[in-house]
A = this chain, B = another copy of it.
Amino acid sequence: MRNGNDENLVGSFPFVPRQERAVKKKDALLQSGRYLFITKGYENTTAKEIAAHAGVATGTFYRYFSDKRQLFMYLVKDKLANLLPPEPEWEAGDPEQLLFSLLENYQQRLYEVKLDKVVVELLPKDPDLAETLKEAKRNMHNRICNGLKRAQEKGHVWKDLDPSAIAWSVLVLLENAAKDDSGQSIDFRQLARLIGRMVFPPEIIKRLQSEQQAKSE
């Protein structure tokens, strides 16, 4: 639509449509906010700084965002998928192998987001953010849980363990593994194996591994 109208203008200014510039500014602000939040923490970053870093005036910040918090929410919601651990596919092959690549993959995604620490800074103060995240985690949990239930029905998962409890544990381990906050970095290969023991009885693991072997040959 916009384009349609614009094309009719002869001799119009070198064209950068208004909205487009606006989008660019908003983006610049988001990027700057993200960078500064990650670098200096949420509270230590002022709206003025974000504006300056984005190359716009302080007042412009408030044209695009009602306040600092809103900008941050944009960031979080944008990256929410990346902040959450993905759902493992349990029976598509060697579970240890699958979990390992999933862990690596997730760490990479978290590395790209880097907002997790900032999120944690805000969580206790921002019930809204807390709710958003809780909701997302609930979804994630349900998906993992359902996958586990299906596997359990086929007798592939420990019979006496509650899929919900397993799902919770898997989520927690994935999250924390990727955050790597302890200093001593976690061996993902080991962790994958460990999660395997938690989910599958030994004989199932062996079977899935040999099936995988067969497939790949």
A194 / chain B contacts, CB cutoff of 8 Å = 161, 165-166, 169, 198
Q: Mark A143-183, 1 if CB is under 8 A from B, else 0.
A: 00000000000000010111011101100110010000111
Check if B124 sits within 8 Å of A41, measured CB to CB: yes
A-B contact pairs, 25 of them (CB 8 A): A41-B124, A117-B123, A120-B120, A120-B121, A120-B124, A121-B124, A134-B183, A137-B182, A138-B183, A138-B184, A158-B197, A160-B193, A161-B193, A161-B194, A164-B190, A165-B186, A166-B194, A168-B191, A169-B194, A172-B172, A172-B173, A172-B176, A176-B176, A194-B198, A202-B202
Find A141's partner among B125, B169, B184 (CB 8 Å cutoff). Answer: B184
A193 / chain B contacts, CB cutoff of 8 Å = 160-161
Find A182's partner among B138, B182, B191 (CB 8 Å cutoff). Answer: B138
| A contact residues, total (Cβ < 8 Å) | 42
Take A124-B120, A184-B138 as given contacts and tell me if A169 and B165 are in contact as well, using a CB distance cutoff of 8 Å. no
Shortest beta-carbon distance from A120 to chain B in Å: 5
Copy number of this protein in the oligomer?
A: 4
Query: Is A187 at the interface (CB under 8 A from chain B)?
Result: yes
Find A134's partner among B182, B186, B190 (CB 8 Å cutoff). Answer: B182
